[in-house]
Structure 1
């Protein structure tokens, strides 16, 4: 029996798809509410030309809003906004609020109900304590790639930009009521699952196929979706899927990180087309950058080249925003990309959450983390 092949359904254009995970919160208690099936059922009954795109996730408190295949960031965010409006028509009368962040500030993982599904049951049976702790949420961005031969070079080079995306989106400083000291505790949690975390840097599609074949033969995976890398090929859709980002609490931040990812993939694709060899970092530098961004967020000093040169992540990001401006104009997302610079000025979500907590403590509030939840609820209602 020969090696298992993996067909990549190449995308002729760099199309976009976005998956935005959010959770249901009880308006009175501010705790998570396991009512996703009820909400999804009501949303699906709403009359609509295409139907809102909402899918289930591992936990009954979670909704995933999924776009169709989009051409621009504006189209993707417009698609998502329509779906969120449809969800709110259901949740508002039920006393439920929506939040998107990497973690909930005080919810307990051991009290959450799991969505009935054979795949989820198998995951939890295998992963046990770590699987039950996956009380985390993120944003996944797909970008179409025109050739299977470009996928891994682009993916490997995208790892250079991992810390920028992690730092910008970091929104999970709290875990079961405690400040973890991390900007993104989600990044550290998710990599505990088998096949999750950083991808291997394969040199060819054939090497990736060898890996997939080994994983099937040894029973590690039952399907490609079980490869849960932070950045992974998505052969079915003909995309690279970037899963680095924590849940973004605002639509503006969602627009910003989506535009940055779109521009980076298209920029790297163009350099390949021009015959360049894309820059990469040794795996140990990539791993260190992931940890630094998860720990320190926008204050991280990151490794920017294979020689070990270091730089503040925000300084490097500013330079990349200038470099990507022509690509953003080409992709009709210059305004969206410009929103990236707002995040350090306003403060990333982990910084805003801590500031809200400290202000509530200074006022002598009895439950300061409730105020953090209230701030996340309010931010998701921002235009």
Structure 2
């Protein structure tokens, strides 16, 4: 099987963001995407951004065009959100995002009427129906197909860093799970998800796809849902390891980290250096640790088993990549990464709100709605000030 890898501009950026539709008063999910999608599809038909339906009717996905910079892609996302709000605001529907909803349950949700989703649920059954998860996908353009798998394997060493920064699913169906990212472990229950196989060349990837299609596991490459995967149609590497980001600045920050990491690895390959790939048993352990402990995880960062706190390694990484971020014109977005460490990731803010509200998870949902509109503030959550009582929506 031959799978062409489309030409793309080096280190160009595309972003996808899955958003929940919620009742403005209760914070519960509402399955009203079928009501708003026809008008949205018509309104965005000629735009750079898109708005599409997802597996569940309580979700829409906004997607950017191809951006030369993170800012350009984020501008598209912002325009897409504005378009969605033209439909949702009059209906009293709010938008929010996290890796999971604090209290909604799968049996109250409806699957979008689409053959692809019906087949997925038929095959995966209970686990498929439990896929009440939301994430972001960041695409980065790769100009040479021979770079794809070396960069994927180098990036896999940073899955725990990306997962810890984005972790936003501490609650599941009304219970506190004890995990920063419950989504990460739920999603890997589906076939063809989880960590990428350690393939070395594009030819090996083509052989893998051939095996999977021939045995009926997948219909095409889009059904390979690894945490980091090639996207042959776009000529990109797609990072899918992150929970849904709760605010637009945080989304932009993580996208800037992905872009700078990819470009840094690409330059190492240009200079003839071999990229370091951790042993798969280390990457698996790192993923679990980040899902469990988030920004308090210790992660394995070397083939010799060296372990460091992920916060410490993140700050070292930020310092190392900061000049490159300026060169790629994403310095402003990149600076927000340190702010996430300072004020706390979404999972930490959600837990703090729940504790301040005596465990009332409706307040967590309301805080996520407020954050999506206004962004997090230090005094509202776990930053430098004390936690204040949640305000009405």
Q: Does 1:373 pair with 2:378?
A: no
**Inter-partner Cα distance in structure 1 for 2:68 and 2:175:** 41
Query: Paired residue for 2:214?
Result: 217
Change (3 A) 1:32 1:176: same
Provide the aligned C-alpha RMSD in A. Answer: 1.2
Residues 1:8 and 2:13 are matched in the alignment: no
Alignment deviations for residues 290-329 of structure 1 (CA, whole Å, 9 cap, x no partner): 0000000000000000100000001001011111112111
Q: What secondary structure does 1:54 align onto?
A: strand
Using the alignment, how far apart are the partners of 2:304 and 2:48 within structure 1? 51
Q: Is the 8 A contact 1:173 1:181 kept in 2?
A: yes
Gaps of 5+ in 1: 362-366
8 Å Cα contact 1:44-1:51 kept in structure 2: no
2:68 to 61, 66, 71: 71
Match of 2:106 among 106, 109, 117: 109
Alignment check: 8 A CA contact 1:25 1:96 kept: yes
Residue 245 of structure 1 and its aligned partner are, at CA, apart by 0.7
CA apart distance, 1:52: 5.0
SS in 2 for 1:30: coil
Gaps of 5+ in 2: 376-393
Alignment partners' CA distance in 2, 1:121 and 1:47: 26
Whether the aligned pair in 1 keeps the contact of 2:49 and 2:65 (CA below 8 Å) is no
Q: Distance in 2 between matches of 1:199 and 1:58?
A: 23
154-163 or 34-43, which deviates more: 34-43
2:266 alignment counterpart: 269
**TM superposition score normalised by structure 1:** 0.96
Shifted more, 36-45 versus 271-280: the winner is: 36-45
Q: CA deviation at 1:29?
A: 2.6
Mark the CA change 1:47 to 1:122 in structure 2 (over 3 Å): closer, same or farther.
closer
In the alignment, the residues of structure 1 paired with residue 48 and residue 349 of structure 2 have an alpha-carbon distance, to the nearest angstrom, of 35
2:172 counterpart residue number:
175
Aligned residues: 375
8 Å Cα contact 2:157-2:283 kept in structure 1: yes
The reply to whether residue 97 of structure 1 matches residue 89 of structure 2 is: no
1:214-253 mapped onto 2 (5 Å cutoff):
214-253=211-250
State the SS of the aligned residue for 2:184: helix
Q: Is the 8 A contact 2:48 2:64 kept in 1?
A: no
SS at match of 1:302: strand
Whole-Å separation in 2 of the counterparts to 1:60 and 1:287: 32
Partner residue in 2 for 1:364: none
Task: String of CA shifts for 1:97-118, please: whole Å, max 9, x gaps.
Answer: 0011100000001111000111
Q: How many Å apart are 1:28 and its aligned residue?
A: 2.4
Conserved 8 A contact 1:36-1:62:
yes
Distance 2:47 2:151 in 1: 33
Q: 1:287 maps to which residue?
A: 284
Distance 2:41 2:7 in 1: 31
